[in-house]
Structure 1
């Protein structure tokens, strides 16, 4: 009897986990990108606004953006800076326009991690992306990530190839 109850409980837990993972997969758009492995990246890189030309601009009104949506935008923006074997979600540039837009949202919010988001975006605004792997993985973890953990910053060559593939028109 105890063994049957334990088996039933484990089965329910596994089905629940599968359901949650499926929901997150569908909610995040499930767009997988393949990356090639390479040597360790540089510690800093600079914003190159001319490359982005408004592609992937965040236009959602600040009053309608909840904290989870802000986290997804930040996570998607890190994709052009971090190496991960798999990446889920959109390719969204770390452009000055997107940084300013998200800073407006953060300033008008009462989000739990408001100071963290502000600090992250201010560093990016100043061209400092050393925190990109940590930002990616923190948000990835908050949303139950199991595939696609960032392992390092991309090299300049990898970043240029990513920008070319995703943001050039």
Structure 2
């Protein structure tokens, strides 16, 4: 019986210590259990995204673009746009790199498409990307999404640099 009383006393003391901690801490003590990695600054996220963009890609990956049909090329651009935009649902992902953007642009520019408008849509999307300008990513995603008759997952905004970096790390690292 004495063992149970001693155990009960120890548990009671520990409960009091925990209670005092929660009472005195500004956040209710939740930081201890919920804290993940420290968030990166916008500048740090932008630097890491730039480094990711400049990462060389195997010529095998980009050589595959030459054998893709029109719809596969459209899907590749759609998958790449997911890295840059917020949408309720995203199916498919392909990392955006300088090598891939340049190769896609060249392949599309030199390919005969069944529909000239599809070729022009992709060139309009990719041309700014070849200059590291992704400000068109929401409209790019939604043009492709509409072309594919999407009804779930419309892009609503650009991701913040921190959100994009998180997406890159989750999907590609």
Distance 1:149 1:137 in 2: 6
Q: Which has the higher contact order (CA 8 A, sep 6+)?
A: 1
Q: More helix per residue: 1 or 2?
A: 2
- Among 64, 69, 81, the alignment partner of 1:66 is 69
Instruction: Give the counterpart of 2:121 among 106, 116, 124.
Output: 116
**Structure 1 residues 105 and 49, CA, compared in 2 at 3 Å: closer, same or farther?**
farther
Task: Say if 2:82 is the partner of 1:79.
Answer: yes
Displacement after TM superposition at 1:53 (Å): 5.3
Task: Give TM-score scaled by structure 1 length.
Answer: 0.64
- Superposition pairs of residues 1-169 of structure 1, within 5 angstroms: 48-50=50-52, 52=55, 54=57, 57-62=61-66, 64-89=67-92, 91-111=93-113, 112-113=116-117, 114-168=119-173
* Structure 1 stretches of 4+ moved >6 Å: none
TM-score by length of 2: 0.62
Report the number of matched residues: 122
Distance 2:76 2:65 in 1: 13
Structure 2: tracts of 5 or more residues without a match: 1-45
What CA distance in whole angstroms lies between the structure 1 residues aligned with 2:78 and 2:61? 14
Q: CA deviation at 1:130?
A: 1.0
Larger radius of gyration: 2
